[in-house]
Amino acid sequence: MSEILLAWIIFLDKGGRPFYFKQYEKIGYNDREVLVPGLISALQSALREIEGEEVKQVQFDKRTLYFREKDNVVVAVSTLYPLYQSDVQALLYELLEGFINLYKGIIRKWDGSMTEFANADEVVEPIIQKFEQKYNQFQKRCAMILTLGTTPDPLIKTINNFKPEHVCFLTTKDMLMYLAEVLKGTDANKERYSYNYYQIEDKYDISHCLKVSEQAFNELFRRGYSAEDIYVDITGGTKVMAVGLGIGAVKYHTNIVYVGGEKRDAQG
């Protein structure tokens, strides 16, 4: 059985009226009634502001929402794990084509009732199952670079979610003690991933933090990871450490993630 990759999927018209919604994972305290209006609002804003991209994305409920529009029909998905842009593009294309072909006549004269699309599972589920089976069969490589501060919980969440093969930690001598907490809270003790760390001597010097981050990027490239395989988490450490690593991610065209939250450590 393949691993479920999608958190939820929604179809709606360009005006924001939902045709079909399905949730595969309960997110926090959100139920269907809370989640759908928020999704629609996020999509409406993004559709107004983002032009000229075949696959668009926006942040919603601490996840990346990918969406695509054709013939005034919008399909949006949120994934539980990081997927490549090309894979997401292929999935959205198939979902749109299948949905539009099935409901072409109904969409033109739609009266606003979601019951018109009650049998959408017939076209949606086979596409998703086929995609998940294929994606799990050819699982992508993933490595991470993280800034480590005094609050390990966000890093633990990131590592357990992304399931990297190798992790590079950027930290200072006085923060190194927190590495043990991260390793304990993740799968390192089960040999699920390898790791190394790079010591930052001056956590308030952007140039120095960038230089240390470049060492980590070069190590991952040496191990055979491409820029598309590398995910950078700038949640921990000082703001300067995060900026230095972020500049490195932009320089090497890698992915950047951030775990938000109300609680902050002494370093911000």
pLDDT for residue 102 is more than 50: yes
Give the C-alpha separation, 12 to 72, whole Å.
9
For residues 127 and 98, is the Cβ–Cβ distance under 8 A? yes
* Average pLDDT of every residue of the chain: 82
pLDDT in tens, 175-213: 988 998 998 888 654 567 889 999 999 999 999 999 999
Calculate what percentage of the chain has a pLDDT beyond 70.
Answer: 81
The larger pLDDT score, comparing residue 118 to residue 54, is at 118
Q: What's the pLDDT tens digit per position in 106-141?
A: 888 888 888 889 899 999 999 988 887 776 655 567
Q: Which residues contact 121 (CB under 8 A, 6 or more apart)?
A: 22
Distance, in Å, from the CA atom of 136 to the CA atom of 4, rounded to the nearest integer, reads 9
- Out of 123-132, 207-216, 220-229, 256-265, which region has the weakest mean confidence (pLDDT)? 256-265
Please report which confidence band the pLDDT of residue 99 belongs to, taking 50, 70 and 90 as the band edges: very high
pLDDT above 50 for 36: yes
Query: Which of the given ranges, 37-51, 54-68, 109-123, has the highest pLDDT on average?
Result: 109-123
Question: CA-to-CA distance for 203 and 38, rounded, in angstroms?
Answer: 38
Q: Where do the domains of the chain lie, and which CATH numbers do they carry?
A: 6-137 (3.30.450.60), 143-257 (3.40.50.10770)
From 121, 119, 16, 141, select the one nearest 67 (Cα to Cα). 16
- pTM for the model stands at 0.52
